[in-house]
Amino acid sequence: MHMAKNRINILIAAVTVLCVAQTGTVQAQGKEKKGAAGASEHVTKAGQLAQAGALPEAIAEYTLAIEQSPKNARLYNDRGGAYLALKKFTEAAADFTKAIEFLPKDYAGYSNRGAALSEQNQLDAAFADLNKALELKPNDPRTLERRGLAYYRQKNYDMALADYSNALEQTPDSSLGLNRRADVYVALNQLDKALPDLQKAVSVRPDDFAAQDRLRYVQAKLAPPPAAPVATAAPKATPTPKPQLLTRKNIFLAIGVLVALFIVIVVIAKISMTRREV
């Protein structure tokens, strides 16, 4: 009977422990759901602020969301993206590292961190992350564009062209991809290939003033040089003809003068002889 009583007490204790554990689990799940709901409000607000260009305010909202849901990898990726846009690359890389910690099989964290590392010119580390991202999600256009930029910074233009072209096959209207592939063509002095990429980039995004500047530069370089002005010979001055002395008129005048002189001499001679006779 004593043994039966002990068994009953053990059974009651086990049931009590199980009930307490279940209550704790329910309470934890309740807190988690409440935290997720609170985080969702901040995420929505952060997204609206980011769309409006208010990135510091968006980061503040993402931070509040992370406090509510500290193991949500997406929140770290989102806040890291805002840091990346603000060129705060160290903070961005730290957030992307947290995202990878919570979701090590998600390509996004590696792709994002690779972009942040590339901006810091840590190219070896950037390639490691970008290659891992492409291993998890092959041919992802955004990751290919990011790796293409890393190759461009490494002056490995052939590999950069391969990545940009692969990305543009999937997203042919990517203004970023078109601009960056054009940059590679310009670096290779293949301006005739850069021209159509820049023309399309401007047509896709008419407000992209940087693309417009690139386009004008390439067009100016491809334009034929202005033709050299044809030198025209100055008209030769017509020399003034020298007056001719031996004209018929002048000859007759000379004869007339000589005749007149002869007559004058004869007259003078006769007068002189007359005076002598007298």
Q: Is pLDDT at 218 greater than 60 in this prediction? A: yes
Give me the mean pLDDT over the 228-256 stretch.
Answer: 63
Choice between 231 and 188, residue whose per-residue pLDDT is larger? 188
Give pLDDT, residue 17: 33
Task: Quote the tokens at residue 265.
Answer: 């001499």
| Contact (Cβ atoms closer than 8 angstroms) between residue 164 and residue 184 | yes
Model confidence pLDDT, tens digit, residues 135-146: 999 999 999 999
Q: Which 8-state DSSP code applies to residue 72?
A: -
Distance (Å, whole) CA 265 – CA 131: 129
Give me the mean pLDDT over the 182-205 stretch.
Answer: 97
pLDDT category at 258 given cuts 50, 70, 90 is confident
- 139-220 fold: 1.25.40
pLDDT category at 270 given cuts 50, 70, 90 is confident
Residue 156 burial by CB count (10 A; 0-12/13-18/19+): exposed, middle or buried?
Answer: middle
Helix (H, G, I), strand (E, B) or coil at 245: coil
Name, in order, each residue with C-beta under 8 angstroms of 1's C-beta and a sequence gap of 6 or more.
none
Task: Quote the tokens at residue 127.
Answer: 């390639």
Residue with structure tokens 């043994």? Answer: 3
22-103 placed in CATH 1.20.1740.10: no
Give pLDDT, residue 243: 58
- Answer yes or no: same fold for 22-103 and 139-220: yes
Give pLDDT, residue 277: 59
Give pLDDT, residue 28: 37
Distance (Å, whole) CA 107 – CA 129: 9
Domain boundaries, given as residue ranges, for the chain: 22-103, 139-220
Model confidence pLDDT, tens digit, residues 86-104: 999 999 999 999 999 999 9
Choice between 228 and 172, residue whose per-residue pLDDT is larger? 172
Query: What is 113-155 written as a DSSP string?
Result: HHHHHHHTT-HHHHHHHHHHHHHHSTT-HHHHHHHHHHHHHTT
How much is the pTM?
0.69
